[in-house]
Structure 1
């Protein structure tokens, strides 16, 4: 009888793992799917480049700003409840997205998907930690991380195929299908668990952090439209700074803060925070900018763009595990820094590719970036907890995850603004007699991948000059990304280059976009 009960319990745990892994497909599918679908959505629903950018930025903003709050809610009200609610919300939002006909509603629903993604990640990972112990926990989180990598690698191809054969609305149904399976297979077997010491959500901290991140992202996105020195942009950036100061003040005074700032007294912990910021600029930004270029500027189909991106994403399936094996002989900080330098080389190589070159010309630099980014990607989750005392590991993980997702949100908005600004400057230099409003509008349309709309006001003879301007602006963006990645590598070498505590998490620990 006990053997049967034990077998049933093991089967139940693996069903729970299967459900959480299925749900782990949702964040990468939601992220990469929105980027690949953006040009097709723009062609059907219209909208300004600013509004279209919210298809991705709205998702990331909601995800990053609510991740800490979702973790606190899961501790207070139950990991199973938060996880299943998040999956259900994502499924509902995806179904509504498939029928939406106006861009503002689409962006609002994308924000709901981001909120749901935060609930899924916070509740799901906490639930797994309760269900598994010891080596089984390591294997469970390895499977979770691998699933996330599969979503990154194959998400663009799946989205491209669905858009090509069924339209962009079908692309939002993949996450819904994964969510329904997760709800049916694993959630009924999941046990509810709570933190008996939880004191509830830090509402003042949560609200001030969300408002600060929102104001900063909105200010950066508005800069190409109104100018960095405009009253609107400076007001938003000033508000973001004031709100972040308020957030720090709140967190230093509450009994159980969402963000324990005392952890930043550990210098190696500061160095770890450079890793998610670096991988944002050398990898995550490309997952958005490259589909826009491939589809919107160079005219590739969504499916072809998805296949091209696999060269960038496939290394994430194997390189993290390889890096973890090497970390037993080489300091993890050295491996991470070396990987970032390799990614910087790939970015510089990518800067030399002109529009119209073959798929094979892109393969080598994207492979370099993918391999280089995969080395810190597989180590940084473990480093985030190994560089602080064991009893502070939970808070360290929360800070690290928030740094990663919030940094990605800001990084995407910032690099889009940089591309628009460079395009405006290039077009002004090339065509000084053209009205500034026309030039600025063209730059915004090109940066969003709306080549036909960008070229509509211009004579045919000027079209080649517009593409050349885009190519030069894109080249300089790659220079900027390579510089940020190189500086990050130097910071990592300085803070983490010496031998220290080995990462305690597995190589494929759950990674967030």
Structure 2
């Protein structure tokens, strides 16, 4: 619910129909997950063309997520100060420039650097775009707009790897993939300059100390999550990075409490509904994004599926993200926000627990139910979470709220992928150590988790696939348990909220539609 006293100024001299504004934002938003998730498909080609190891090429993906997550809060707060449309347009320009550099990169260092810049641009696109929508639409129209916005993200998630695979294998390779992203966004950039702008009427200047501390702290935290499982949590570099992350983030909180105009107002986290909303993308990162990253490798290693076949199988999981945001948007006036939060986590828990039926050569019919359930939970969330985050604070802090929410989303995704990967790696390796020499067990685990069955022999197949499957089961049960604990947490954080509006005791602003007013 918006607080009194919020002050937002809108520019005159620019005009665009709300529908055109929504189309421009969604066009840009849908391409970000395509480039984010699709880059993984290009790694073998990048490694071969630039004569680097696959481990080094992996930083093409890691570098993007590092800056994407780290710059969310900074770009969100800057959007409130300099203008939401300006931040959105600047983000597209930076992103396009980075994609051109990536497509022309002569060396892996240049490519990784371009992806670092692309992550910064993507952060500005996401925070600026959602803040533009929050200030363009009101009431029921805002709820519908964010349902379309969620569908745009779903489109990118659903078809990103498939689009990347087609371009990389059939239409010119990884360079064309990056260059195409820039070309596609150029018309959106040109049109975005015509959109009306809005900003805080009393901009307070930039909190440089807070921005540097927060960005550096989150950067170190995500770096630990990415590199810890790969090099070992006890390595001095990882320990030092974790200590630095904690120290920087503690210093950030102390600085923000004494700053008149902070990058992130710590008081946001005293609002229980905002905390509940920000908790959701972290839980969903474990429930949807991390399984989306690890399941294709399982199908390729254990079932011998091709990358394309594994990707098509995952459409069972990503498909609901295309349909449900709009459907939930049309039903929003009949369901409270609290109810939908619980439904999302219940579907996630159901799907993750159900997917423990996973075993070698399990048919598509048996896989369909749990994969669809997981996808349905995420699809429902796309209909309302972004809108709920920016609507839970006054309009002057819409960019800040979007930045915090998307920081939780991207940080959660990076950490969840690393944690689930560490669980699967650890359990698989431990099981294989019981039957194989340590060196052989470690090498076989590495190949399996990359989706490569070439290290499996007739003598080791049963043990290897059994170990990998057991590890997947433990990982999925962990996801299920986390979703159940999430339900308990959400119920506690929103316990003052009635469950439905049909008994006439639910405040209008707590419905999915009303929360956007």
Q: TM-score, normalised by structure 2?
A: 0.84
- Shift of the 22–133 alpha-carbon distance from structure 1 to 2, 3 Å rule, reads same
Question: Which residue is 1:348 aligned to?
Answer: 353
Distance in 1, matches of 2:311 and 2:457, equals 32
Give the conservation status (yes or no) of the 8 Å contact 1:164–1:301. Answer: no
Report the secondary structure of 1:111's partner residue: helix
Matched, 1:482 2:484: no
Question: Which residue is 2:242 aligned to?
Answer: 237
CA deviation after TM superposition for structure 1 residue 141, in Å = 4.0
Q: Map Cα deviations across residues 305-361 of structure 1 (whole Å, 9 max, x no partner).
A: 332222212212332344455554443223322331222221122232223334444
Matched, 1:148 2:146: no
Question: Which residue is 2:181 aligned to?
Answer: 175
Give the conservation status (yes or no) of the 8 Å contact 1:156–1:305. Answer: no
Give the conservation status (yes or no) of the 8 Å contact 2:154–2:382. Answer: no
RMSD: 3.3
- Shift of the 208–297 alpha-carbon distance from structure 1 to 2, 3 Å rule, reads farther
- Out of 203, 206, 214, the residue aligned to residue 209 of structure 1 is 214
Give the conservation status (yes or no) of the 8 Å contact 1:419–1:473. Answer: yes
Give the conservation status (yes or no) of the 8 Å contact 2:389–2:402. Answer: yes
Give the conservation status (yes or no) of the 8 Å contact 1:280–1:407. Answer: yes
Number of equivalent positions: 494
Distance in 1, matches of 2:158 and 2:401, equals 28
Matched, 1:93 2:95: no
Distance in 1, matches of 2:14 and 2:395, equals 29
CA deviation after TM superposition for structure 1 residue 370, in Å = 0.9
CA deviation after TM superposition for structure 1 residue 62, in Å = 0.9
Distance in 2, matches of 1:311 and 1:368, equals 9
Give the conservation status (yes or no) of the 8 Å contact 2:147–2:383. Answer: no
- Out of 413, 434, 442, the residue aligned to residue 440 of structure 1 is 442
Q: More displaced, 249-258 or 165-174?
A: 165-174
- Shift of the 439–224 alpha-carbon distance from structure 1 to 2, 3 Å rule, reads farther
Question: Which residue is 2:74 aligned to?
Answer: 69
Matched, 1:373 2:371: no
- Out of 306, 312, 323, the residue aligned to residue 307 of structure 1 is 312
Q: More displaced, 320-329 or 404-413?
A: 320-329
1:253-402 alignment runs, 5 A limit: 253-295=258-300, 298-324=303-329, 328-384=333-389, 395-402=400-407
Matched, 1:58 2:63: yes
**Structure 1, unpaired ranges of 5+:** 1-7
Distance in 1, matches of 2:219 and 2:395, equals 33
Give the conservation status (yes or no) of the 8 Å contact 2:77–2:399. Answer: no
Q: TM-score, normalised by structure 1?
A: 0.84
Distance in 2, matches of 1:103 and 1:442, equals 27
Report the secondary structure of 2:259's partner residue: coil
Q: Map Cα deviations across residues 430-457 of structure 1 (whole Å, 9 max, x no partner).
A: 22x333xx543443343233444xx2xx
Distance in 2, matches of 1:14 and 1:176, equals 23
CA deviation after TM superposition for structure 1 residue 179, in Å = 0.8
Distance in 2, matches of 1:391 and 1:15, equals 23
Distance in 2, matches of 1:265 and 1:371, equals 30
**Structure 2, unpaired ranges of 5+:** 1-12, 499-505
Matched, 1:26 2:31: yes
Question: Which residue is 1:491 aligned to?
Answer: 489
Question: Which residue is 1:3 aligned to?
Answer: none
1:466-481 alignment runs, 5 A limit: 466-481=464-479
Give the conservation status (yes or no) of the 8 Å contact 1:15–1:189. Answer: no
Distance in 1, matches of 2:228 and 2:415, equals 13
- Shift of the 223–125 alpha-carbon distance from structure 1 to 2, 3 Å rule, reads closer
Q: Map Cα deviations across residues 443-478 of structure 1 (whole Å, 9 max, x no partner).
A: 3343233444xx2xx766335533333222222211
Give the conservation status (yes or no) of the 8 Å contact 1:36–1:291. Answer: no
Report the secondary structure of 1:252's partner residue: helix
Report the secondary structure of 2:357's partner residue: coil
Question: Which residue is 2:6 aligned to?
Answer: none
- Shift of the 383–81 alpha-carbon distance from structure 1 to 2, 3 Å rule, reads closer
Give the conservation status (yes or no) of the 8 Å contact 2:345–2:483. Answer: yes
Q: More displaced, 154-163 or 129-138?
A: 129-138
CA deviation after TM superposition for structure 1 residue 68, in Å = 1.5
Q: More displaced, 85-94 or 363-372?
A: 85-94
- Shift of the 330–504 alpha-carbon distance from structure 1 to 2, 3 Å rule, reads closer
Q: More displaced, 297-306 or 153-162?
A: 297-306
Distance in 2, matches of 1:410 and 1:55, equals 17
Distance in 1, matches of 2:250 and 2:206, equals 19
CA deviation after TM superposition for structure 1 residue 119, in Å = 1.4
- Shift of the 270–296 alpha-carbon distance from structure 1 to 2, 3 Å rule, reads same
Q: Map Cα deviations across residues 95-150 of structure 1 (whole Å, 9 max, x no partner).
A: 33334464444333222221111111233333445555666555544433332222
Distance in 1, matches of 2:328 and 2:160, equals 24
Question: Which residue is 1:125 aligned to?
Answer: 130
- Shift of the 111–331 alpha-carbon distance from structure 1 to 2, 3 Å rule, reads same
Question: Which residue is 2:3 aligned to?
Answer: none
CA deviation after TM superposition for structure 1 residue 15, in Å = 4.1
